[in-house]
Chains A and B, each alone.
Chain A
Amino acid sequence: MLTFTLRRLLLAIPTLLFISLIIFLLVDLAPGSPMSEIPLTVPPEVRKKMIEALGADQPVFVRYILWLRQFFWVEPANLIDGWFGTNLVGGEQRILSWQSRSPVFTVIGQRIPQTLTVIGTAYLVGIAIAMPIGIYSAYRQYSVFDQIGTLIAMIGFSVPTFFSGTLFIIVFAVWLPWLPTKYDTTLAVTDWSSFLQQLRQMAMPVMVLALANAAAISRYMRSSMLENMGQDYVRTARAKGMTERVVVLKHVLRNSLIPVVTVIALGIPSIFGGAIITENLFGVNGIGAALIGAIHANDLPMVQTLAFIFAVLIVVFNLIADILYGLLDPRIRYE
Chain B
Amino acid sequence: MNLKSALLGAVCAFAMAPAAFAERGTDGEVKLTFPQAVSIMNPYLSSGTKDIFAASMVIEPLAGFDDTGALVAKLVSEIPSVANGGISEDLTSITWKLLPGLLWADGSPVTAADVIFTGQYCMDPAGGCAQLSKFDGIKSIEAVDDMSVKITFNGPKPNPFTAFVGSTSPILQKAQFEACLGAAAPTCTDQNSMPIGTGPFKVTGFTVNDTVSMEANANYRDPAKPAFAAAVIKGGGDAEGSARAVMSTGEFDYAWNTQIPPDSQAAMAAEGKGVFVVAFGTLIERLEMNMTNPSADLPEGERSTTKHPHPFLSDINVRKALSMAIDRHTLTEVGYGAGGTPSCNIVPAPALYASDNTGCLTQDIEGAKALLETAGWVDTDGDGIREKDGKKLSILYQSTVNPIRQDFQALIKDWWTEIGVETELKAIDPSVFFGGDAGSPDTFQKFYADVEMYANNFDGTDPEAYLTQYKCDKAPSPENQWQGENMNRFCDPAYDAMVAELSGTRDEAKRAELTKKLNDMVTKDSFVVVPLVHRGTLSAHSNALGGVKINAWDSELWNVADWFRVK
A residues in contact (CB < 8 Å) with B: 31-33, 35-54, 93, 96-97, 99-103, 106-107, 110, 169, 173-174, 177, 180-182, 184-186, 280-283, 285, 289-290, 293, 296-298
Contact = CB atoms under 8 A, between A and B. Distances in A.
B205 A280 contact: no
Contact of B429 (A31, A41, A42, A45): A31
22 contacts: A31-B431, A32-B431, A32-B435, A38-B130, A93-B187, A96-B187, A97-B208, A101-B45, A103-B189, A181-B241, A182-B234, A182-B241, A184-B211, A184-B234, A185-B207, A280-B237, A281-B237, A283-B241, A285-B209, A285-B211, A290-B209, A298-B435
B130 A50 contact: yes
Interface of B: 33, 37, 39-40, 45-49, 125-130, 132-133, 183, 185-187, 189, 192-193, 205, 207-211, 213, 232, 234-238, 241, 244-245, 248-249, 251-252, 429-437, 440, 442, 456-459, 465-466, 483-485
Given A36-B433, A40-B456, A99-B209, A54 B39 contact: no
Between B39, B129, B192, B211, the greatest number of chain A beta carbons within 10 A of the residue's beta carbon is seen for B39
A39 B211 contact: no
A290 B129 CA distance: 25
A73 B205 CA distance: 30
A297 B431 CA distance: 8
Given A31-B437, A293-B37, A181 B210 contact: no
A318 B45 CA distance: 41
B129 A49 contact: yes
Contacts of A45: 132
A46 B456 CA distance: 17
Between B127, B189, B193, the greatest number of chain A beta carbons within 10 A of the residue's beta carbon is seen for B189
A31 B251 contact: no
B189 A31 contact: no
A295 to B, nearest CB: 9
Contacts of B252: 182
A280 B484 CA distance: 36
A182 B117 CA distance: 40
Pairs of residues from A and B, 4 with the lowest C-beta to C-beta distance, nearest first:
A53-B128, A32-B431, A33-B435, A285-B210
B403 to A, nearest CB: 15
B553 to A, nearest CB: 13
Contacts of B128: 49-54
A160 to B, nearest CB: 15
Contacts of A297: 39
Nearest to A38: B47
A158 to B, nearest CB: 23
B129 A36 contact: no
Contact of A182 (B237, B434, B456, B483): B237
A270 to B, nearest CB: 20
A31 B434 CA distance: 11
A49 to B, nearest CB: 5
A164 B185 CA distance: 44
Contacts of A173: 248-249
A174 B429 contact: no
Nearest to A290: B209
Contacts of A93: 187
Contacts of B458: 41
Contacts of B192: 101-102
Nearest to B134: A46
A289 B238 CA distance: 12
Contact of B244 (A39, A52, A169): A169
A83 to B, nearest CB: 20
A293 B430 CA distance: 15
Given A106-B189, A182-B252, A283-B241, 15 more contacts: A31-B437, A32-B431, A36-B431, A41-B458, A44-B436, A46-B132, A53-B126, A99-B46, A102-B208, A169-B241, A186-B211, A186-B232, A283-B234, A285-B207, A285-B236
A306 to B, nearest CB: 13
B47 A31 contact: no
A99 B39 contact: yes
B249 A174 contact: yes
Contacts of B484: 44
A100 B133 contact: no
Nearest to A41: B459
A36 B434 contact: yes
B125 A49 contact: yes
Contacts of A298: 431, 435
Given A32-B432, A100-B39, A281 B132 contact: no
Contacts of B126: 53
B140 to A, nearest CB: 20
Contacts of A285: 37, 207, 209-211, 236
Contacts of B211: 184-186, 285
Between A40, A107, A280, the greatest number of chain B beta carbons within 10 A of the residue's beta carbon is seen for A40
